[in-house]
Amino acid sequence: MKNTMKYFLLMVLFMSPVLWAQGTPKLELTIEESKVNLTPAEETGQTEIVYKPGDVIHYDIIVQNIGDADMADPVITDPVPDGVVYLPRSAEGEDAVISYSINGGNTYQSWPPTYRVTNADGEEVVRVAPPEMVTHIRWEMQKTFAPGEQEVLEFEVEVK
């Protein structure tokens, strides 16, 4: 029994550094927005940047693994802000499968998202969702993020 206990303690001591060295991945997201169609006065800083209907806003989502271990295939989901409309096919991200939700993030589809309605004849038909219906964008990353590695995801919207 004493030899078994000694062996167990030696194994715990030997394996402890391996277990402690495994590390933890941690994903940090930073969102930056910029107005695409700045006025000359806004560009030079003479006036504050003001958003009005028809203005286009570009969003960069910087995804970075700030942990000390690899993170495989993270999924990043971002809601489309209130007061704007998603600009079709503006979402981008290297090594990502991009999908869209039109129901508050409950389900996701590739572009263009569709929905079912019953027409005047009582038949169920499939319709393409207009960009105004997009509520969320999802990037399913197809890569492993090493510690410190980052990727930029992006999309654009138009102010209503």
CATH assignment of the domain containing 115:
2.60.40
Query: Residue 21: pLDDT above 60?
Result: no
Full-model pTM:
0.83
Query: Residue 11: pLDDT above 90?
Result: no
Asked if residue 132 belongs to a domain, the reply is yes
CA distance 148 to 9: 35
131 SS3 class: helix
CA distance 15 to 97: 38
- Nearest residue to 79 (alpha-carbon basis) of 59, 62, 64, 95: 59
CA distance 66 to 147: 6
Asked if residue 14 belongs to a domain, the reply is no
Range of the domain at 155: 23-159
Asked if residue 13 belongs to a domain, the reply is no
- 151, 95 contact by CB (below 8 A): yes
CA distance 112 to 73: 24
Asked if residue 2 belongs to a domain, the reply is no
Asked if residue 69 belongs to a domain, the reply is yes
- Please report which helix (H) or strand (E) contains residue 61, including its range: strand 56-65
In the 8-state DSSP scheme, what is residue 133? G
CA distance 57 to 36: 6
- Confidence tier at 19 by pLDDT (50, 70, 90): very low
Asked if residue 1 belongs to a domain, the reply is no
Number of structural domains in the chain: 1
Q: Cα Rg for the chain, rounded, in angstroms?
A: 24
Query: Residue 13: pLDDT above 50?
Result: no
Asked if residue 65 belongs to a domain, the reply is yes
